[in-house]
Structure 1
Amino acid sequence: MPEKSNPVDVLVVGAGPVGLVSAYQLARFGGGSVSVRIVEKHTKTVQDTYGRAVTLFPRTSEMLDQLELADPLLQHGFACRDTAAYDAQGQEVHGRGWSFLHDMKDTAFDFALVLRQKYQEEAFRAAMKPLGVEVEAPVELTAVTSINDEGSDGDDYRVTAVIRNRETGEEETVKCKYLIACDGGHSTVRRLLEIPLEGSATEDRWVRVDGLVKTDLPKPRTYCAIESPTHGNVLWVALDRGTTRIGYAYTPAPDEQQALLFDQAAAVRGAIAAVKPFTLAFERVDWWTIYTVSQRVAAHFRAAHGRVLLAGDAAHTHSSAAAQGMNTGVHDAVNLGWKLAVALRHPARADALLRTYEAERRPHVLRLIRYDRDISQLMSGRLPEGWAGEADVSAALARAMREAGRFSSGLGIAYEVAGGNPLNVVGSFVGGAAPGVRAPDVELLRPGTCEPTRLIRETRNVARFHVLVFASDGAPGIPAAVFRELEGSVPIQGLVAEGCLAFVTVLPDPVPSAYEVLDHEPLGRVYFGAKDKSTYSRFGIEIGKGAIAVVRPDGWIGTMVVLGSGAAAEIEAYFGNIFTI
């Protein structure tokens, strides 16, 4: 019989980046009141290899920055701001390949942060350890069941999992409120719960090789594309610590017709051939792989009466063509993390809130799957079926990647305003930043010193909404009246006391004292707008009128409210659909 363990609020299965970020968030948000366990079937020495995902795009870096996870990655990563593309003759061609990286503006993270997954995982594990959570490995999940109502003892631990230590063979039964499946493309959780994985594999096979190289490529420390006539659109990525990744479409040589004959030496020979007319020599190979390209997505991201949630590769798999695997998984984890933390504090609204996870994330995953299907074929050297446009494969790929640039960077990802989603609501203030879009990371000035800072830095993600009150300079009496309404709202102040929301007051210009301008104490922390007025304009707010922006914990705008009478009631109504107030 399996040994029974103490109940745990959340069990995370899988300790890749998505699982680590998920577990870290719940431990961080819970402040010691949320119990979390994370298990991984592979030992660290096996799991902690080179290779795998390497690229973080701007929106992902922003979200990790809000979680205070970006700094260790920046310390060791390669900030790639430059790109290059070469045709089959070795001539540089502009506007092709990864050129959309040059247009990733409107963010402090205007670059691709390249860091091998080994080092990312080390950083996430280190951040999680002081919070009292460490990966348990090698521990695998062997069974999972759930019930739809409260347990017989009246508790809320409705999921029962059986885990087994792969070294000792000992089994343990774990009861939890929620289970998060982050166990990859061959997810055990998905298999045990019989969740269909929809989509298909292709006949394309790709090779990736990481290592230390010597080359005459003119711009080797870039995100680079080489238009090979034999190996598709070749990927060349400058990695951390002076290393390089080379990826190409696999075309078997006569003596490699059987997959078993393809080894590291063959991978290196293929890379050398793929980058011609440039020369290449490997001084060291850190990692290599060959894999079949496929695009698949789980039929649903919630199962077992909403108590099991899928994230990352457990929910969707695709090629590395657009370098979106890590990014999409982190987006999943961040979208889910704060919602699950709120659900644990407010169980009466938990189901409605957690339904928004799939409602928001799955449409973007499906868009990625469609995009990946096209560009993976283009990168393999052929036009997608039904393609309408350029007949030249390289030109078609350039157009496809350029058009998807805002999506790939993550800066253009927006969540729909839908009747069943209480998080994205059209408010009384219209014409400015829309609900469901990323809140711009505007510049703010600190009081007194007027030192510049950024909105993301001052609104860390601790599963707390931020209500940004942009005061007007045309009618100072209006903010004071609104402040009194907000201060007098028992429901709103209850959420403030509970840590569910925090206020930030923004003034248009630096002043010696916010009180003297407002004739009232500011709400929460106070900051000044940037000297160029962009703090207001990027939210679409007129300085003479002001407005209120409610920003979700993950950095997307929830609603916009007119700065005037009735603002408190409108904000109460918004939060009343999310929390129990």
Structure 2
Amino acid sequence: MHDVVIAGAGPVGLFLASELALAHCSVVVLERETDPHSPLKALPLGLRGLNTGSAETFYRRGLLQPLLKASRVDAANVGADPETDRAPTPRSLGHFAGITLDAADIDPAALADRLPGPAMDGFMTNLEAISDVLAERAASLGVSIVRGARVTAVTQDERTVTVTAAGQDHPARWLVGCDGGRSTVRGLADFSFVGTEPLFTGYVAKVSFADPHALPLGFHLTPTGMYLRTPLEGHLGMMDFDGGTFDRTQQPTREHLQAVLRRVSGTDVALKEVHLASSFTDRAMQATTYRHGRILLAGDAAHIHSPLGGQGLNLGIGDAMNLGWKLAATIRGDAHEDLLDTYTAERHPVGAAVLDWSRAQVATMNPGPNAPALQQLVRALMETSDGTTHVYRTSSGLFHRYDLGDDQPLVGRTAPDFRLTDGTSLGDLLQEGRGVLLDFSPQQSLSEQAAPWRNRVRYVPGRPGNDLGFKALLVRPDGIVAWADASAAATDNQLNNALTRWFARS
């Protein structure tokens, strides 16, 4: 019997499997597709954007450089000079509802508690590159990936859950559904999935134009919808505000796509050939809880929304990082299983905020007689320093804050990448998947207090180049600050109380 069965070998399922295997849990991943590669995962249709928070997550597990290489991204365009005192502003920000933002407009004060490191920017990648890197990582950690195993039944009792796939039963202590927006696990386990119905049908396709110069490159918001052309050859995206009525069980034909493109572009552009096409909607739904007994959900199985702003994959990676260490601690007996309730408590509000962020963009782009006035107002706000800064803080993945019962502003947020004088960074220290206790105080007398938690916390004394005014920090395995002390010197009693308070929860 395995500790965990994961349904779905997409990026979220593979990342979670690696987190659990890193903590020495036995994991099997059941994937319904037989072939890990698909034209829908490769460029151009598989194009995806990782935000800065996700880049930092891959960095903290030693996976950033392999992913940059697989994505053919120059690391110099993602990292920052660690010798500088403060983190630079990002190089690019993307868009909000088709409105391009200028990174130079970010208020530097918004980055006051960030430090430079290898992961300072998001970057474009693709599902194939991410899946290949994560599949190799999972296999190296001993994860078993069973392909062609479609889940057909799920049962659970107080001690185990049994998953039936391809006619075979897979008993385990826990099951996590990472099987996408049409999750079989979510349906079989009777999770409530609520939200809002779609306003548009979206299309992404690889096409050949009769006249390649008929449509300009870029993101174009029109009185009837939106179209997007990227520098990738033949890459076309469209949004048609039809109420999401296109039947997604049908493959979009050349005639249908051409009619939609002419309608949303206002041109007589002709498509010579459609090589590959897929459709989607802005249906925004979320599970009311991410846990039913021994069954949990992560990624699109827990929440779906439009791809506007590129938050879906990033949200799922965040789910996996949050859940992995908690589920592992529960399996090892280091924590009561009530710790798993903090997964929903922490991640559900983040998911709800992303769904609203997506809805706000759809509302801004929705054609109608009042649309130009609304778009003009939003554009004016986005062109201010406050507006640009707000978009960055909301979409970068760096500024989510979990409520951990501490008023210190850094507690509950992702930790800065402190770099010690020997060149070791916090990102390096987190690669083994354990919590880290950083002791910057001159006395460095906290190691004995860390002893009771040594199997969960790595004690690291030393002075960083920039301590941001802190004397000691307790950082969870997912890189979230659990406790921070900025007093003249962190005392044994303070630390002991902090450790006891945090680990009593776990």
Give the equivalent residue in structure 1 for 2:187. 191
- How far the C-alpha of 1:336 sits from its partner, in A, is 0.5
User: 1:55 Cα shift?
Assistant: 1.0
Question: Are 1:393 and 2:375 an aligned pair?
Answer: yes
Which whole-Å CA distance do the structure 1 matches of 2:419 and 2:490 have between them?
A: 29
Matched with 2:32 is 41
Structure 1: 5+ residue stretches without partners: 1-6, 86-93, 149-157, 166-170, 419-424, 447-451, 472-478, 508-527, 530-534, 542-546
How far apart, in 2, do the equivalents of 1:250 and 1:52 lie? Answer: 20
What CA distance in whole angstroms lies between the structure 2 residues aligned with 1:261 and 1:37? 33
* In structure 2, C-alpha distance between the alignment counterparts of 1:262 and 1:219, rounded to whole Å: 23
The DSSP-based 3-state class of the residue aligned with 2:336 is helix
Matched with 1:20 is 14
Are the counterparts in 2 of residues 210 and 287 from structure 1 also a CA contact under 8 Å?
Answer: yes
Deviation at 1:146, TM superposition (A): 1.9
Query: Hey, what does 1:61 align to over in structure 2?
Result: 55
Tell whether the 8 Å contact from 1:96 to 1:398 is kept in structure 2 after alignment: no
Q: Which residue of 2 aligns with 1:502?
A: 458
Q: How does 1:315-394 map to 2 (within 5 A)?
A: 315-346=302-333, 349-381=335-367, 391-393=373-375
Residue 274 to residue 566, structure 1, CA distance change in 2 (3 Å): closer
CA shift in 2, pair 1:55/1:243, >3 Å: farther
User: Residues 3-402 of structure 1 correspond to what in structure 2 (within 5 A)?
Assistant: 7-30=1-24, 34-44=25-35, 49-50=40-41, 51-52=45-46, 54-77=48-71, 81-82=91-92, 97-99=99-101, 103=106, 106=114, 108-148=118-158, 158-165=159-166, 171-210=167-206, 224-232=218-226, 234-237=227-230, 242-243=232-233, 245-250=235-240, 262-264=252-254, 266-267=256-257, 270-271=260-261, 287-304=276-293, 307-346=294-333, 349-381=335-367, 391-393=373-375, 395-396=377-378, 399=381, 402=388
The answer to whether the 8 A contact 2:430-2:479 is kept is: no
> d(CA) in 2 for partners of 1:318 and 1:134?
30
2: CA distance between counterparts of 1:342 and 1:571? 21
- Residues 101 and 112 of structure 1 are in contact (CA less than 8 Å); yes or no, is this contact kept in structure 2? no
Tell whether the 8 Å contact from 1:311 to 1:329 is kept in structure 2 after alignment. Answer: yes
Letter in 1 for 2:451: Q
1:561 CA drift (Å)? 2.6
Counterpart secondary structure, 2:150: strand
Tell me the SS of whatever aligns to 2:462: strand
State the shift of 1:180 in Å: 0.7
Q: TM-score, normalised by structure 2?
A: 0.81
**Do 1:443 and 1:453's aligned partners in 2 also have CA atoms closer than 8 Å?**
yes
Structure 1 SS opposite 2:168 = strand
SS in 2 for 1:404: helix
CA–CA distance in structure 1, aligned partners of residues 70 and 177 of structure 2? 29
Deviation at 1:41, TM superposition (A): 1.2
Q: Is the 8 A contact 1:95 1:398 kept in 2?
A: no
Contact kept, 8 Å, 1:10 with 1:36, in 2: the verdict is yes
Deviation of 1:141 after TM superposition, in Å, equals 1.8
Code of the residue aligned with 1:43 in structure 2: it is T
Alignment of 1:450-529 (within 5 A): 454-456=425-427, 458-471=428-441, 479-480=442-443, 482-483=444-445, 486-489=446-449, 492-496=450-454, 498=455, 500-507=456-463, 528-529=464-465
Amino acid at match of 1:67: R
Q: Tell me the SS of whatever aligns to 2:23.
A: helix
CA apart distance, 1:461: 3.8
Letter paired with 1:317: I
Note the alpha carbon deviations across 1:488-546, whole angstroms, 9 max, x for none: 34xx21422x2x11122232xxxxxxxxxxxxxxxxxxxx41xxxxx223xx43xxxxx
Distance (Å, rounded) in 1 between the aligned partners of 2:258 and 2:66? 32
Task: Name structure 2 gaps, 5 residues minimum.
Answer: 78-90
2:424 is equivalent to residue 434 of structure 1: no
- 1:405 to 2:392 alignment: yes
Alpha carbons 1:58, 1:110 under 8 Å: kept:
yes
Alpha-carbon distance in 2 for matches of 1:343, 1:383: 55
Judged with a 3 Å threshold, the aligned counterparts in structure 2 of structure 1 residues 397 and 353 are, in CA distance, closer, same or farther, namely farther
2:498 maps to what in 1?
Answer: 574
Contact 1:161 1:173 in 2 (8 A): yes
Q: How many Å apart are 1:556 and its aligned residue?
A: 1.5
2:286 counterpart letter in structure 1: V
Per-residue CA deviation, residues 435-485 of structure 1 (Å, 9 max, x unaligned), is 112212244442xxxxx56432x22243311111123xxxxxxx33x51xx
Distance in structure 1 (CA, Å) of the matches to 2:61 and 2:208: 32
Distance 1:212 1:54 in 2: 22
TM-score for both structures, normalised by structure 1: 0.71
Instruction: Give the match's secondary structure for 1:184.
Output: coil
Secondary structure at 2:364 match in 1: helix
Give distance in 2, aligned partners of 1:244 and 1:444: 48
Contact kept, 8 Å, 1:160 with 1:173, in 2: the verdict is no
Does the Cα contact within 8 Å between 1:353 and 1:578 map onto a contact in 2?
no
Q: Closer, same or farther in 2 for the Cα pair 1:268/1:343, shift >3 Å?
A: farther
SS in 2 for 1:139: coil
**Aligned partners of 2:56 and 2:120 also within 8 Å:** no
The SS at the match of 2:280 is: strand
Q: Give me the identity figure in percent.
A: 25
Structure 2 vs 1, CA of residues 443 and 261 (structure 1 numbering), >3 Å: closer, same or farther?
closer
Residues 231, 380 of structure 1: 8 Å contact kept: yes
- Superposed displacement of residue 574, structure 1: 2.7
- AA paired with 2:374? D
Deviation string, structure 1 residues 379-427 (Cα, Å, up to 9, x no partner): 343599xx9xx82325426747843321211111111234xxxxxx45x
Q: CA deviation at 1:290?
A: 1.9
Does the residue aligned with 1:377 lie in a helix, a strand or coil? helix
Alpha-carbon offset, residue 319 of structure 1:
0.5
The structure with the larger Rg is 1
The one-letter amino acid paired with 2:180 is G
Contact 2:181 2:304 in 1 (8 A): yes
Q: Which has the higher contact order (CA 8 A, sep 6+)?
A: 2
Q: Is the 8 A contact 2:8 2:31 kept in 1?
A: yes
1:268–1:409 distance in 2 versus 1, CA, 3 Å: farther
- Give 1:12 shift: 0.4
- State the SS of the aligned residue for 1:392: helix
Give the drift of 1:285.
6.0
Q: CA deviation at 1:13?
A: 0.6
Cα deviation for residue 216 of structure 1 reads 5.8
Distance, in Å, in 1 between the alignment partners of 2:255 and 2:58 is: 37
Could you tell me how far apart the structure 2 residues matched to 1:126 and 1:552 are? 25
Q: In the alignment, which of 548, 554, 564 is matched to residue 472 of structure 2?
A: 548
> What whole-Å deviation, never above 9, does each CA across 1:317-341 have from its counterpart, x for those lacking one?
1001121110000000001011111
Shift of the alpha carbon at 1:235? 3.9
> Quick check: 1:341–1:463 contact (8 Å CA) kept in 2?
no
Distance 1:259 1:187 in 2: 16
Say which SS state the counterpart of residue 412 (structure 1) adopts.
Answer: coil
